[in-house]
């Protein structure tokens, strides 16, 4: 399952004892609670508003908001599945490992729920028509980029839905899109990024330095837009009452919510999103501009490659200095983009089926062996397996085991 | 009247906040119930405090885990207004200790964060802080440890100024015209946005310089205690019917970075917790330190030539080449050669292009950044005072502490 950090929202009734004394409740039930942040509030209108963290690395954060008089509390769960299972996020998870992640989360969150009937609402997709839904997903693909060719070409990328120019940290990472936007692309070398964090990850081996992570962060409506396949998206109708000119008017809004997905859906979304990038892949763009503009565009494209600046950066520069007087900005840039696309990467090669199946990962054995709350003694609920497995998936023999499994197995045999 | 924060020879410097580091035991009643405690004493507590509880494995001095968990609790209280005086306490087994106090003098005194400070305002803010926080302290004798430099000579000082946060305002400079930004301590502006640039430390390969060598330390980002952000500001001032745009430099200096720069001033340093630390700062010191940091900024300022704005020109290509050559590491000859290579032009046309590029290059005037940022005070427009009805009225709480005749000017 090529997913990194993810976030979902659930509405469940919380145990009153937990709301009263979180630490004592967690201690009594053996929950791996490792932090509670009670936010400062300007008004006391909320009955409870706090965040709590699970596991020693605090890799699962649950934000709780409970309004007075409401039976259900709103839980916003933010977690990185690979950090829960391996202690770091250098691996690409398998489908089964994602099921394990769901099982672990359910296992430790279930004691917090006061009514057993609400337990399926703790994870999205387990109850059809339920209120729980995904709100943020990071999809990823790892590729080997020996020589940095893929990274250099992706520097000039742009996307039709993203207005802000890309940001680039030389030779390290590229970011396209706003931090809080619905779509954001992030392309970076995973191993150096992990080493920068320091601590246990400072010792990541240099043999993984050429692993390039192509990541897309989806939020809000973009989730439903790119992952709306089969039963993945459910429609949620909200009816509100508004007072307009002294009369109450009912207002009905239909929202599309992502409630489940499969590996194949995520791969398909990744292909679609990266396929929409401009200035990277060869396209059949036909230029109808005069030859001089085409030449200027070609010159700009070649300068973008030679000067170490992205086309977006050069565009900003031209806009700042030549401003209104540079009437043909759009057409010149289009020509430059066409030139870059002509020399671009081969999409079908980079996003081939085999690339998805055999993705390299960053391994840190010292961290993976230290994972304390693994999935060994937790059974995966059948609802999770059903929701996050393709309906028509045939028999898949186990050819690789997840790293945490190997690690624990080795310890046991030793 | 010109504000003392108007630098006599440069930009407006605004002290946003300063953080005081101390260690004073807080009152037991306050620990039990902060809101009940506040009611009769009038500490000016705002809203509900934020509490952070973290659990960590207890370790022996050798580093081995004991199997027990240590619970640590950190609470944050806001006094007068959100962000005006922020007191942070930490629970240590049985007691709560006041560890840091963040003071925004302008917000505390004038209820307006963008109000410029005047002579004596910092002293008034310190007095206000001391008055409001003293009921929180368990032992009345420890009140002197709330404010640095307030400690009597016979007692060992505990409080010091850990960091300062300032803003410098340049009304006539565009962020987009600043290039190759770098500061020896803060780093470079890689990955900058259109309207915002943060100087980030560069990763250095520690050890023997060969990062991958066995036994060498892994690369770590340099953390110098000096943080610089540059922001494009565009503000509409309704009172003056004027749109002001410019550059704001946000500067944070802490720990050693602050100590190093303040050290040369007499009366500002003292030995606190076995180390020389900053204990006293006046507005003039803050201005001097900020000016010093900004003067160390490397890079260049390249404004749009007036000829370019006035005259669209005939040779767009020449301007593009001149611009690329001026802002990247490529030489004009290299760029011209690249432009000619793809066009199959005759020698005469190439010579004409070279000449045009030379002319355009002459119009582009590069200025060192330190020089460009040293704008005379006469050009400074004080936008923060454009629409501030509160600016002239001193807060009643301040008046109560500093006397009824006090004014903000």
Average pLDDT, chain A: 84
Q: Average pLDDT in the B21-27 region?
A: 89
Q: Do B52 and A36 touch (CB under 8 A)?
A: yes
pLDDT above 90: residue A213:
yes
Element (H, E) at A54: strand A48-54
Selected for mutation to probe chain A from B223, B339, B350, B363 (highest A CB count within 10 Å) is B339
Least CB–CB distance from A40: residue in B49, B319, B343: B49
* CB distance B111 to B128 below 8 Å: no
Q: Do B203 and A173 touch (CB under 8 A)?
A: no
Q: Average pLDDT in the A145-163 region?
A: 87
Q: Average pLDDT in the B172-192 region?
A: 87
Q: Average pLDDT in the B91-100 region?
A: 84
pLDDT digits (tens, 9 = 90+) for A297-326: 888 888 888 887 888 888 888 888 887 556
pLDDT digits (tens, 9 = 90+) for B366-409: 888 888 887 544 443 343 333 333 333 444 444 454 444 444 33
pLDDT score at A405: 55
* CB distance B158 to B23 below 8 Å: yes
Q: Do A299 and B317 touch (CB under 8 A)?
A: yes
* CB distance A284 to B304 below 8 Å: no
pLDDT score at B218: 39
* CB distance A129 to A231 below 8 Å: no
pLDDT above 80: residue B5:
no
Q: Do A37 and B316 touch (CB under 8 A)?
A: no
- Closest-CA distance, B291 to chain A, in angstroms, reads 28
Q: Do B54 and A309 touch (CB under 8 A)?
A: no
Question: Which of A73-77, A118-122, B335-339 is predicted least confidently?
Answer: B335-339
pLDDT above 50: residue B52:
yes
Least CB–CB distance from A169: residue in B57, B190, B334: B190
pLDDT digits (tens, 9 = 90+) for A340-364: 888 778 888 888 888 888 889 898 8
The pTM is what?
0.82
**Of B204, B292, B203, B298, the residue nearest B253 (C-alpha):** B292
Q: pLDDT band at residue A41, thresholds of 50, 70 and 90? A: low
Backbone φ/ψ region at A64: left (φ over 0), alpha (ψ -120 to 50), beta: beta
More confident residue, A120 or A48: A120
**Of A325, A338, A326, A343, the residue nearest A297 (C-alpha):** A338
pLDDT above 80: residue A225:
yes
- Closest-CA distance, A325 to chain B, in angstroms, reads 5
* CB distance A180 to A255 below 8 Å: no
3-class SS at A391?
Answer: coil
The token pair that represents B157 in the structure block: 């000082």
Q: Do B192 and A167 touch (CB under 8 A)?
A: yes
Cα dist. A207→A127, A187, A192, A203, B205 in Å? 44, 19, 11, 11, 17
pLDDT above 70: residue A328:
no
Q: Do A298 and B342 touch (CB under 8 A)?
A: yes
Q: Do B55 and A34 touch (CB under 8 A)?
A: yes
Residues on chain B touching A307 (C-beta within 8 angstroms): 324, 328-330
Q: Cα-flanking dihedrals φ and ψ of residue B67, to 5°?
A: 95, -10
Minimum CA–CA partner of A206 in chain B: B212
pLDDT above 50: residue B343:
yes
Most confident by average pLDDT, B82-91, B349-358, B372-381 = B82-91
Rounded-to-integer distance, Cα B157 and Cα B135, Å: 20
pLDDT score at B242: 60
Question: Which of B199-208, B225-234, B237-246 is predicted least confidently?
Answer: B199-208
What CA dihedral angle connects A40, A43, A45 and A50, to 10 degrees?
Answer: -10
DSSP β-bridge partners for residue A76:
A9, A63
Q: Average pLDDT in the B239-261 region?
A: 81
Cβ pairs bridging A and B (under 8 Å): 121
């Amino acid at each position: 399952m090529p997913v990194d950090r993810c976030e979902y929202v659930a509405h469940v009734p919380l145990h009153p004892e937990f709301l009263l004394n979180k630490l004592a409740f967690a201690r009594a039930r053996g929950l791996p609670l490792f932090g509670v942040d009670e936010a400062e509030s300007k008004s006391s209108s909320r009955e409870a508003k706090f965040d709590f963290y699970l596991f020693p690395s605090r890799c699962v954060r649950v934000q709780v908001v409970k309004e007075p008089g409401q039976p259900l509390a709103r839980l916003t769960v933010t977690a990185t599945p690979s950090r829960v299972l391996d202690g770091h996020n250098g691996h690409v998870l398998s489908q089964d490992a994602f099921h394990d992640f769901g099982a672990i989360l359910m296992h430790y969150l279930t004691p917090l729920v006061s009514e057993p009937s609400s337990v399926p609402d703790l994870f999205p997709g387990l109850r059809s028509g339920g209120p729980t839904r995904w709100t943020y997903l990071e999809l990823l693909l790892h590729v080997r980029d020996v020589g940095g060719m893929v990274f250099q070409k992706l520097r000039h990328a742009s996307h039709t839905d993203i207005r802000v120019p890309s940001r680039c940290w030389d030779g390290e990472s590229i970011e396209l899109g706003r931090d809080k936007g619905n779509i954001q692309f992030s392309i970076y070398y995973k191993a150096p990024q992990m080493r920068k964090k320091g601590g246990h990850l400072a010792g990541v081996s240099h043999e993984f330095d050429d692993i390039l992570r192509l990541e897309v962060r989806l939020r809000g409506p973009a989730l439903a837009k790119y992952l709306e396949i089969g039963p993945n998206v459910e429609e949620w109708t909200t009816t509100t009452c508004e007072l307009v000119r002294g009369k109450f008017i009912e207002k009905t809004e239909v929202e599309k919510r992502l409630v489940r997905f499969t590996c194949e859906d995520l791969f398909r979304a990744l292909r679609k999103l990266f396929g929409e990038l401009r200035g990277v892949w060869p396209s059949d763009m036909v230029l109808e501009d005069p030859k001089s503009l085409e030449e200027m565009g070609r010159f700009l494209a070649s300068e973008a490659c030679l000067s170490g600046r992205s086309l977006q950066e050069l565009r900003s520069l031209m806009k700042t200095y030549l401003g209104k007087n540079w009437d043909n900005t759009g057409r010149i840039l289009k020509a430059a983009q066409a030139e870059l696309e002509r020399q671009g990467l081969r999409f079908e090669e980079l996003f081939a089926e085999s690339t998805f199946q055999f993705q390299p990962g960053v391994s840190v054995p010292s961290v993976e062996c230290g994972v304390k709350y693994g999935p060994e003694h937790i059974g995966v609920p059948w609802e999770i397996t059903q929701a996050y497995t393709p309906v028509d998936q045939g028999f898949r023999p186990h050819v690789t085991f997840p790293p945490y499994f190997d690690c624990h197995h080795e310890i046991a045999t030793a | 009247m010109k504000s003392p924060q108007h630098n006599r020879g440069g930009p407006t410097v605004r002290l946003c906040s300063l953080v005081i580091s101390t260690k004073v035991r807080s009152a037991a009643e306050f620990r039990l119930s902060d809101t009940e405690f506040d009611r009769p004493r009038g500490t000016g507590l705002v809203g509900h405090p934020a509490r952070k509880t973290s659990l960590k494995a207890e370790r022996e001095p050798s580093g081995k885990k004991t199997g027990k968990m240590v619970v640590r609790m950190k609470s944050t209280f806001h006094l007068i207004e959100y962000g005006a005086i922020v007191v942070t306490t930490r629970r240590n087994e049985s007691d709560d200790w006041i560890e840091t106090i963040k003071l925004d003098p302008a917000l505390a005194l004038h209820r307006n964060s963008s109000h410029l400070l005047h002579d004596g305002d910092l002293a008034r803010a310190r007095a206000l802080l001391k008055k409001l926080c003293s009921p929180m302290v368990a032992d009345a004798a420890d009140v002197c440890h709330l404010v640095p430099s307030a400690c009597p000579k016979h007692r060992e000082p505990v409080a010091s100024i850990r960091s300062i946060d300032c803003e410098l305002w340049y009304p006539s400079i565009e962020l987009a015209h600043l290039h190759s930004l770098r500061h020896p301590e803060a780093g470079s502006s890689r990955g900058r946005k259109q309207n915002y640039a943060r100087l980030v430390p560069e990763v250095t390969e520690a050890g023997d310089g060969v990062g991958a060598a066995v036994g060498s330390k892994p690369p770590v980002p340099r953390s110098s205690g000096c943080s610089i952000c540059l922001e494009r500001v565009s503000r509409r001032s309704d009172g003056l019917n004027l749109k002001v745009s410019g550059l704001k430099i946000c500067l944070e200096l802490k720990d050693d970075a602050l100590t190093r720069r303040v050290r040369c001033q007499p009366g500002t340093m003292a030995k606190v917790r076995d180390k020389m630390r900053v204990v006293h700062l006046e507005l003039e010191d803050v201005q001097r330190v900020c000016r010093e940091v900004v003067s160390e900024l490397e890079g260049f300022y390249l404004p749009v030539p007036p000829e370019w704005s006035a005259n669209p020109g005939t040779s767009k290509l020449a301007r593009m080449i001149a611009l690329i050559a001026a802002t990247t590491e490529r030489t004009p000859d290299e760029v011209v050669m690249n432009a000619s290579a793809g066009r199959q032009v005759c020698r005469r046309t190439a010579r004409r292009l070279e000449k045009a590029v030379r002319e355009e290059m002459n119009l582009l005037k590069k200025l060192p950044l330190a020089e460009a940022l040293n704008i005379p005070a006469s050009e400074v427009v004080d936008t923060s005072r454009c629409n501030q009805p509160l600016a002239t009225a001193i807060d009643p709480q301040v008046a109560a502490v500093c006397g009824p005749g006090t004014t903000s000017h």
